[in-house]
Amino acid sequence: MRIIPAIDIIDGKCVRLSKGDYATKKIYNENPLEVAKEFEAHGIQYLHLVDLDGAKSKHILNHGVLEQIASKTNLKIDFGGGLKTDDDLRIAFECGANQITGGSIAVKDKETFSRWIVSYGAEKIILGADALDEKVAVSGWQEESKEELLPFIQSYQEKGIQYVICTDISKDGMLEGPSFDLYRKIIKTSSVTSSLPVRQTGRVEKQLKLIASGGISTFDELPKLAEIGCEGTIIGKAIYENRISLKQLENYILSR
């Protein structure tokens, strides 16, 4: 299971929110590059970088931070927040993103998001399936859609999506543990649909690569997520609040 620390950006600073509420913003470091370099120094290879300003304004804003981290570290970055147009996507990849995460657009403009999967390939496009009570949330979690989480994920599996980041918003930033049952349910239903042919190409779908996010609070939760079958896990506040040390993560990575 891949370990993927998170850096969330507001006004160019490294922050964390609770349950996606911008009013709960807490600044942890004014220099995201410094944080990213510390991750890399502990053997971490991946980074989840979120433009919270972009998510709120509905277009990419903090691409300068992305470019800085991408050019000054070797971290493989998945970038999300405010990616709504082909131009937003172009900027993200030109600034060094290895993958992008699309959440709101996958709900509100399915045609464009589906085209991105075909144009860039399933290795480059991550489905952001963030939910509250198993309903997908959009616009920086400011809105709840009518999309049911499991059918939503399955519909994009049929279109070739392989990577899915799922955050249970009720858990995010609360340090109360992740949604183990929800992830079990997603993996179980995705394995049922994984043998379905993709409509456009006729290919057989690959097993869903589920990335757990939200609520991680202790190191002991990581092996449990791996046992469930999560391909990766995103860790945010637990690192910043010293609930999980970078040394623990380094040892976990080295032990695999």
Q: Active-site positions?
A: 8, 130
Token representation of residue 154: 């399955």
Q: How far apart are CA 178 and CA 167, in angstroms?
A: 9
CA–CA distance, 46 with 6 (Å, rounded to integer): 9
Which DSSP state fits 168? Answer: B
Neighbour count for residue 191 (Cβ, 10 Å): 12
Give the DSSP letter of residue 145: E
**CA–CA gap between residue 12 and residue 187 (Å, rounded):** 35
Q: How far apart are CA 139 and CA 143, in angstroms?
A: 6
Nearest Cα neighbor of 47 from 86, 73, 27, 18 is: 73
